[in-house]
Each structure stands twice: as C-alpha cells, then as structure tokens.
C-alpha cells in the first residue's frame, strides 16, 4: 500500500488547545522536523517544483499513518492540504513517476494507492466536530493521478 500525504493540515495547538491549520512549509524544514522526530517518519517527499527526496528506506517502517504504517510506503507532498492550495504539474509529474517506480518495485495495485484521509477518519481531540486527518485534501487530483500511473488499455 502507498499512502499520500500533504505536509500541511489541521492540528491541535499545544498552547491554546484549539485547532489550527499548519501551512505547507518547505521541503527542507519538513524533512528536518520529521527526521528529528522520535516516532514520525516518511519514505518520500516531493516539493512543489518536482524535487523528490527519499528519507526512510522503503524496506523499513516509517510511522506516518495510524494503524497502517507497518504495511505501507509514505509519500508526502509539500502542500497546505486545505483543498485550495493547487498541486503544480511538476509536483504531480514527479509523483506519477515515483508511483510508477513503486508499482514496479513492490507490485502496488491501483487500489493500493490511498490518501491519508481515506485511512484515518478519527476526529480531532481538541474539536470533535472536525476530522483529524484530511490530507492531501480536495485540491489533490487523486483519480487523474491514478489514471496516469494505471492507464486503461
């Protein structure tokens, strides 16, 4: 399974205890933060300009999604994840390329490519009316990306 994330998304602010939206940030800052984190990890990150960086080796578990990390590869896209921030073509082309490689290397099926929001439907601990994980968000052209990786003959 491959799980697609965005770097931005909602979280509970530690100081106020209220929900806040974390913006996309930069590829460098996100990688540094995740790699310094004792329990979080990611396998691949793709910047808006299509720059792709590998982090945790694909043969090792990266903790990126509750309950499914042991059997999935994580791809993080630099994006606000708010349904408005557009995903540039350079970023989508790099993602299509990477998904094609993962398909080859690991035999990932179309149904095995999912969004974080497909797997985690829990609510925010600080606001039970809002979803905890909504990434990569509605601006992500999920079906179009899958059609490019798994073209109909």
Q: Which of the residues 88 through 117 are near Zn ion (CB under 5 A)?
A: 116
Phi, psi of 133 (to 5 degrees): -130, 115
Toward Zn ion, which CB reaches closer, 48 or 116? 116
Please name which of 118, 139, 134, 136 lies closest in space to residue 19, comparing C-alpha atoms.
134
Q: Is 5 in the site for Zn ion (CB under 5 A)?
A: yes
Rounded to a whole number of angstroms, the minimum distance from the CB of residue 152 to Zn ion is 29
Rounded to a whole number of angstroms, the minimum distance from the CB of residue 10 to Zn ion is 11
> Is the CB of residue 145 less than 8 Å from the CB of residue 2?
no
Q: How many angstroms separate the Cα of 22 from the Cα of each of 79, 134, 148, 151?
A: 10, 12, 30, 34
Rounded to a whole number of angstroms, the minimum distance from the CB of residue 151 to Zn ion is 27
Q: Checking DSSP bridges between strand 52-54 and strand 19-22, what pairing results, if any?
A: unpaired
| Stretch near Zn ion under the rule CB under 5 A, chosen from 15-23, 48-56, 122-130, 134-142 | 134-142
Rounded to a whole number of angstroms, the minimum distance from the CB of residue 153 to Zn ion is 32
| Residues making contact with Zn ion (CB under 5 A) | 5, 116, 135
């Amino acid at each position: 399974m491959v799980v697609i994330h965005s770097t931005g998304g909602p979280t509970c602010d530690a100081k106020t205890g209220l929900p806040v939206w974390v913006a996309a940030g930069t590829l460098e800052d996100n990688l540094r933060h995740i790699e310094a984190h004792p329990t979080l990890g990611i396998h691949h990150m793709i910047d808006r300009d299509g720059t792709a960086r590998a982090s945790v080796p694909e043969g090792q578990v990266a903790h990126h999604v509750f309950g499914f990390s042991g059997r999935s590869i994580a791809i993080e896209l630099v994006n606000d994840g708010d349904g408005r921030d557009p995903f540039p073509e350079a970023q989508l082309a790099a993602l299509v390329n990477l998904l094609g490689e993962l398909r080859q290397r690991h035999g990932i099926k179309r149904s095995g490519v999912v969004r974080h929001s497909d797997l985690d439907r829990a609510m925010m601990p600080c606001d039970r009316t809002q979803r905890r994980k909504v990434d990569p968000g509605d601006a992500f052209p999920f079906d179009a990306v899958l059609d490019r990786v798994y073209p109909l003959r």
